[in-house]
């Protein structure tokens, strides 16, 4: 794992691909004092490395934004106890491809995006919009109108 600072209080945790794959995994983290907002969780092994690093810095993950509900973006959710899980209202359309409906509750967002939504986290202004494409439940995440997270 490598940690790269994008700008002050905004980081990407970069994980290499599996041996049989060309693509790695990225988890984005925005820090506000002792709290963190995470964009996507990767698999359990990925988010656990992020949790370990943040715990060593006495930082707690309080918010998670899921760009879309594919397993490589959500599997780490089961390791977290975040106050807010933010994702598309259409999350179940995607989960239906990968999981039985009795497992959907493990990944259910408590803040469902059904129209554009804006909020502030620390020094960051976030704007989230539905953007079906890669998945039925894909969303765009604008960060300070300077960065755009599109998922995969």
pLDDT at residue 21 above 90?
Answer: no
* Residues paired with residue 143 on neighbouring β-strands, in sequence order: 126, 147
Q: Using one digit for the tens of pLDDT, what is the confidence trace for 63-78?
A: 999 999 999 999 999 9
Of the candidates 118, 144, 121, 140, the residue with the CA atom closest to the CA atom of residue 129: 140
Contact (CB, 8 A) for 92 and 111: no
CATH of domain 2-149: 3.60.15.10
Contact (CB, 8 A) for 61 and 51: yes
User: Does the global pTM surpass 0.85?
Assistant: yes
- Burial call 115-144: b when 16+ CB within 10 Å, e when fewer: eeeeeebeebebebebbeeebbbbbbbbbe
* Domain residue ranges of the chain, discontinuous segments joined by +: 2-149
pLDDT at residue 27 above 90?
Answer: yes
pLDDT at residue 54 above 90?
Answer: yes
Q: Could you give the percent of the chain with pLDDT greater than 90?
A: 93
- Residue 136 tokens read as 């039925």
Q: What is the DSSP letter of 106?
A: G
């Amino acid at each position: 794992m490598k940690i790269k600072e994008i700008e002050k209080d905004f980081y990407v945790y970069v994980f290499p691909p599996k041996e049989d794959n060309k693509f790695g995994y990225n988890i984005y983290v925005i820090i506000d004092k002792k709290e963190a907002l995470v964009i996507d969780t990767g698999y359990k092994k990925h988010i656990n490395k992020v949790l370990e690093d943040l715990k060593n810095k006495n930082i707690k993950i309080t918010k998670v934004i899921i760009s879309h509900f594919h397993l490589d973006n959500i599997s780490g959710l089961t390791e977290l106890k975040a106050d807010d899980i933010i994702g598309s209202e259409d999350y179940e359309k995607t989960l239906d491809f990968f999981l039985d409906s009795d497992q959907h509750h493990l990944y259910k967002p408590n803040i469902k995006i059904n129209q554009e939504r804006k909020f502030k986290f620390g020094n960051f202004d976030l704007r989230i919009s539905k953007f079906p494409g890669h998945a039925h439940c894909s969303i765009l995440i604008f960060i300070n109108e300077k960065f755009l997270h599109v998922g995969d």
